[in-house]
């Protein structure tokens, strides 16, 4: 009888974002195709998808919770020790604590998702267990997680690297000295069937959007790398340079997010608040993307975002910045419009010929 293969998947979190969704889908596919896999999941942090990960895993550990689940005596002993000896538990101590336990499971393979998982895969690699790290980040994302020196020192301590786009692969090789023989580019993917829960008419009524209004939108986490700080200025520019009757949907973050609060303040100061609709991050983003007439990818840097593929699957025109990462690889095949960052002039894909889209492109960029 064939021995059950044991695989440990490590994900940086279980949020409703691209990388966790992608690895969750991969686990589901493995479970469907191979019944003899024993799959454990280590989440560095939890999130909205925790229950989904729990359903498809034999065992699941959330490192953030695990590291805090000490008994009363242990917690107080640790406090006394820290006061007396002034010794603080390091991040490496925490990693060693979790991985030492998991090493007893004798995995056949460890799969780390995102660059953040790299430090968690190292103890397994050192024990001779094959490791794969799927890296989705470009330079900003990588060096926001680790110092460059750490990457240069440890990028060779991986059996295989899966790069989320050719831009990611080229960057890892050129900037961080990754071994080209270890790097394979595998583009992200989305489900063949996308679920839409609310029809366009109902959702437009809910958002008070008029039938004749052009809907432009983004869908992303609210942060500098994603370019969400530029949205109010872009909306002002559309108003100034066109006579379009439009609404701009900003999907992502939540009302307590500093980035969202700042964007709302900017929108008021630029007098475009009536053109903008802020939608909190939620479990039905496809409903809102399905409303868009034009999908914008505002990222200054993005490897190969799933939300872009979702927009394409929903047959939405896509506009993204040149030199921003993996989106360019997708748009080069005639699937959208690439524009210089803070510049004018576009390369237009073959599918964008309706009057509103051409007008938006011609007059704005």
- Tens digits of residue pLDDT in 171-187: 999 999 999 999 999 88
- 210 lies in the same domain as 107: no
- CATH number where 127 lies: 3.40.50.2000
Question: Interior CA angle at 151 toward 136 and 170, to 5°?
Answer: 50
pLDDT of residue 262: 95
**Within-domain flag for 191:** no
- 161 lies in the same domain as 239: no
- Residue ranges making up the domain that contains 158: 5-185
- 105 lies in the same domain as 51: yes
Structure token pair of residue 341: 């960052």
CB 229 within 8 A of CB 267: no
The Cα 277–Cα 286 span in angstroms is 16
CA dihedral 98, 103, 109, 112 (to 10 degrees): 20
Higher pLDDT, 359 or 256: 256
Section 21-30 average pLDDT: 90
**Within-domain flag for 195:** no
**Full DSSP string of 206-245:** HHT--TT-EEEEEES--STTTTGGGHHHHHHHHHHH----
pLDDT in tens, 145-167: 999 999 999 999 999 999 988 99
- 160 lies in the same domain as 216: no
- 105 lies in the same domain as 221: no
Q: For 31, list phi and psi in degrees, rounded to 5.
A: -65, -35
Coil vs helix vs strand at 160: strand
Count of domains forming the chain: 2
pLDDT in tens, 63-85: 875 443 333 334 444 554 444 55
């Amino acid at each position: 009888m064939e021995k059950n293969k044991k695989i440990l998947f490590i994900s940086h979190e279980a949020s409703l974002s691209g990388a966790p969704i992608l690895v969750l889908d991969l686990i589901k596919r493995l479970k469907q195709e191979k019944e003899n896999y024993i799959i454990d999941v280590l989440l560095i942090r939890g999130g909205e998808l925790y229950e989904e990960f729990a359903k498809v895993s034999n065992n699941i550990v959330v490192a953030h919770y695990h590291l805090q689940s000490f008994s009363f005596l242990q917690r107080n002993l640790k406090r006394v020790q820290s006061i007396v000896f002034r010794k603080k538990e390091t991040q490496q101590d925490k990693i060693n604590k979790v991985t030492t336990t998991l090493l007893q499971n004798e995995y056949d393979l460890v799969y780390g998702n995102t660059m953040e998982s790299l430090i968690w895969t190292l103890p397994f690699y050192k024990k001779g267990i094959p490791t794969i790290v799927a890296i989705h980040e470009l330079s900003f994302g990588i060096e926001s997680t680790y110092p460059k020196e750490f990457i240069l020192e440890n990028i060779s301590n991986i059996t295989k690297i899966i790069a989320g786009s050719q831009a990611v692969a080229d960057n890892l090789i050129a900037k961080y000295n990754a071994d080209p023989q270890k790097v394979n580019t595998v583009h992200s993917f989305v489900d063949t069937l996308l679920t839409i829960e609310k029809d366009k008419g109902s959702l437009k009524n809910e958002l008070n959007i008029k039938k004749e209004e052009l809907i432009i939108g983004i869908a992303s986490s609210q942060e500098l790398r994603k370019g969400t700080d530029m949205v109010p200025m872009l909306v002002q520019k559309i108003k100034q340079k066109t006579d379009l009757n439009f609404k701009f949907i900003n999907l992502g973050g939540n009302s307590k997010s500093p980035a969202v609060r700042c964007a709302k303040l900017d929108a008021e100061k630029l007098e475009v608040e009536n053109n903008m609709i802020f939608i909190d991050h939620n479990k039905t983003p496809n409903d809102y993307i399905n409303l868009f007439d034009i999908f914008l990818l505002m990222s200054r840097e993005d490897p190969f975002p799933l939300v872009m593929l979702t927009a394409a699957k929903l047959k939405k025109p896509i506009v993204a910045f040149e030199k921003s990462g993996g989106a360019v690889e997708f748009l080069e095949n005639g699937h959208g419009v690439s524009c210089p960052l803070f510049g004018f002039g576009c390369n237009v894909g073959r599918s964008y010929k309706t009057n509103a889209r051409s007008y938006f492109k011609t007059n704005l960029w």
